[in-house]
Structure 1
Amino acid sequence: VLRALVDAGHEPRALVRSSDKLDQMRAAQGIDGAIDHVVGDMTDPDSVAEALRGCDACIHTAAFTSLDPEQMHLALEVNAPGAINVLDTAAAVGCDPIVHLSTMSVIFPPTGDVLSGHDPVQGGGNPYNASKAIAEEHARGMQDAGAPVNIIYPAGVTGPTDLGLNVLAANLIPTLQSEIMMSLASGGWLLVDVRDLAKALVGLLQPGRGPQRYVAGGTYMDWDEFHAVVSEVTGCDRALFPTPREALEQMVDAEAVEIMLGIVPGDDAGLLADSGLGSWRPVEETLHDTVAWLIVGGLLEADRAPNCV
């Protein structure tokens, strides 16, 4: 997002927990020059107030995520209080718009055949989803009161040059390391390129549009389509293995089962139009760049994707 802000001519100020990590991010993203920043924590009111002082708009993307079950409880301690603190402070200082990055999980399962920002909030679930649902309820309450909060619901965000291993990339690695790929009776993959998402968020920085909700689903592929794309991108034709629900339930948790079997395309038209992005890049490009980045980083063997070397 910082790269997209700089490229669009904005003067960003970042709230970061570590100046060193900010420098690493600047280097990875090829950002020349220093970035104005405040070292602090989104749960700390003073840090957030200092970071937002004098700002015209706010983009809130921070959240605690972890694949470690023993750490997931931290999401409840960080995500909801932090989001509420940022959103309330941004409104108090007059930011317009206030762009809040939510998650697809808070509107899943959908009420129709596409994911819509008008779908009701689905609470509960694991600590991460529960924390995001609490923040979502608060953000919608602000919208009801007229605050210019723009809520974004991204699906599977992926792409290269992450400083860590994001959740989707971590799930992609074992898929590429295997000789087989699952084919399920329903559902599929819904992938959005992090670079496109960043540009879309920045494109929404237009005052006076009022409260808005946008889905950022990206490209939808059923399981057979995903297999075909992965085969083309990587140069490895893995066997497609029909997998019944009962077998899937032995491999992943109950929430993951429902998402994998129940995912549908997203209604992205509003975001693509209002942000000026127009369209998502081809999913083949997203996967190629992500896999190439995993190989360069030593996280995936080159022979698992010879076309990406």
Structure 2
Amino acid sequence: MNILITGATGLVGRYLIEKFINDGKLTAIKRPESNISSLEKYPIKWIDADIRDYQALEEALEGIDMVIHAAALVSYDSRDADLLVKTNVEGTTNLVNAMLDKGIKKLIHISSVAALGRSPEVVSIDEKHKWIESPLNTPYAISKYQADLEVWRAAQEGLDVMVMYPSLVLGKIADKRSSTQVYQYVIQENKYYPEGTINYVDVRDLSEAIYRLYLTNKWGENYIINAESIPYKEFFEKIALATGKRAPYKVVNKTSLKFLLFFTRLMKALGWHNSPLNAQTATLAQRKVNHINDKLLSEIPITFHKLEDTIIWATGKN
């Protein structure tokens, strides 16, 4: 089988390479400036292409039997709203249209639990959760939801799809990916922790789950991939313990939240701070939400890494 992976140099993509390398001939898309030194040990055909470039995608798809679509922009900055649409929505649209044009049947689409949406009254979310318009939906969530619509539209036109909904993906801090901001928040010994919960999954478990779901051959399905939901306070304390730092010790209440938002806006205006904290992300962090993984566990056998083990591995303390 000839497999194409988009986003192969990203946090998730590089671990998917390790899982699928023995299941066929791998082709991977990358940007010209991408660093592939850690992946050169694998027999991969690399192609410089951008998913926003339809013609480049057509060329990359030549002779391909299955696509794993892991390329995406992750940003919670409202200023990136247009770029999120161009990358996540238009890029995915280009990909599925090119696959349909070339008669390529199988697509594993790496989405996000954000694509399932949030609503004020819902505290438990599974794959059946219906998207509604809500102030809790970030520009990133909207872009991933719209990308999913394109995938399911292509499924109606004959594409065999599996859609994966990972929660926050925890990788190594040295990789400098989006999840490293969570570690850095504690390492920098910030004082405040939000009242809500965090849903997470170790990137090694995520790639294992995706591979095992692929082996089930159950196309047309979607799966939340989440290890657990725990309070931010506990999550931060475990990171602090592993890194020898002081854990955040002040809970964010309404008064302190207003101060934090004001301070963040001021620092951003002065060009001194690039924190993703804003009214929307701060409100989300205050909420207690659980992304339910029952469907996943009913389909495949998998044991998630303990959070302590993930943190030790991620921060290089082992």
1:13 to 23, 27, 36: 27
Distance (whole Å) between structure 1 residues aligned to residue 213 and residue 100 of structure 2: 16
Is residue 110–residue 164 contact of structure 2 (8 Å, CA) maintained in 1?
A: yes
1:120 to 127, 130, 134: 130
Distance (whole Å) between structure 1 residues aligned to residue 110 and residue 212 of structure 2: 14
Where structure 2 has 5 or more consecutive residues not aligned to the other structure, the ranges are 1-12, 262-276
Q: What's the RMSD between the two structures over aligned residues? A: 2.9
1:100 to 85, 105, 109: 109
What CA deviation, in whole Å up to 9, does each residue of 1:91-141 have, x standing for no partner?
Answer: 444445311111222223167442212112346855433322221222233
Alpha-carbon shift at residue 176 of structure 1 (Å): 2.2
1:24 aligns with 2:37: yes
TM-score by length of 1: 0.79
What CA deviation, in whole Å up to 9, does each residue of 1:258-281 have, x standing for no partner?
Answer: 32122422222333454x451221
Q: 1:265 maps to which residue?
A: 290
Is residue 189–residue 245 contact of structure 2 (8 Å, CA) maintained in 1?
A: no
- Secondary structure (helix, strand or coil) at the match of 1:65 reads coil
- Secondary structure (helix, strand or coil) at the match of 2:207 reads helix
Q: 1:288 maps to which residue?
A: 312
Q: 1:45 maps to which residue?
A: 54
Is residue 167–residue 200 contact of structure 2 (8 Å, CA) maintained in 1?
A: yes
Cα distance, 1:263–1:55 mapped onto 2, change above 3 Å: farther
Cα distance, 1:50–1:150 mapped onto 2, change above 3 Å: same
Distance (whole Å) between structure 2 residues aligned to residue 49 and residue 261 of structure 1: 44
Distance (whole Å) between structure 1 residues aligned to residue 91 and residue 226 of structure 2: 25
Is residue 72–residue 127 contact of structure 1 (8 Å, CA) maintained in 2?
A: yes
Distance (whole Å) between structure 1 residues aligned to residue 81 and residue 211 of structure 2: 30
Letter in 2 for 1:115: I
Distance (whole Å) between structure 2 residues aligned to residue 200 and residue 94 of structure 1: 27
Q: 1:82 maps to which residue?
A: 91
Q: 1:157 maps to which residue?
A: 169
Distance (whole Å) between structure 1 residues aligned to residue 194 and residue 114 of structure 2: 22
Letter in 1 for 2:281: A
Is residue 123–residue 129 contact of structure 1 (8 Å, CA) maintained in 2?
A: no
Cα distance, 1:143–1:254 mapped onto 2, change above 3 Å: farther
- Secondary structure (helix, strand or coil) at the match of 1:199 reads helix
- Secondary structure (helix, strand or coil) at the match of 2:125 reads coil
Cα distance, 1:49–1:123 mapped onto 2, change above 3 Å: farther
Distance (whole Å) between structure 1 residues aligned to residue 60 and residue 133 of structure 2: 30
Distance (whole Å) between structure 2 residues aligned to residue 133 and residue 161 of structure 1: 28
Is residue 31–residue 49 contact of structure 2 (8 Å, CA) maintained in 1?
A: yes
Distance (whole Å) between structure 2 residues aligned to residue 117 and residue 24 of structure 1: 37
| Runs of 4+ with deviation above 6 angstroms | none
Cα distance, 1:96–1:161 mapped onto 2, change above 3 Å: farther
1:245 aligns with 2:254: yes
2:154 to 142, 148, 156: 142
Q: 1:300 maps to which residue?
A: none
2:74 to 43, 65, 71: 65
Cα distance, 1:7–1:224 mapped onto 2, change above 3 Å: closer
Q: 2:6 maps to which residue?
A: none
Alpha-carbon shift at residue 7 of structure 1 (Å): 4.3
Alpha-carbon shift at residue 205 of structure 1 (Å): 2.8
2:218 to 209, 220, 243: 209
Cα distance, 1:51–1:199 mapped onto 2, change above 3 Å: farther
Identity %: 20
Q: 1:303 maps to which residue?
A: none
Is residue 146–residue 210 contact of structure 1 (8 Å, CA) maintained in 2?
A: no
The range that moved more, 197-206 or 98-107, is: 197-206
Alpha-carbon shift at residue 40 of structure 1 (Å): 1.0
Letter in 1 for 2:28: A
Cα distance, 1:258–1:96 mapped onto 2, change above 3 Å: farther
2:142 to 130, 144, 149: 130
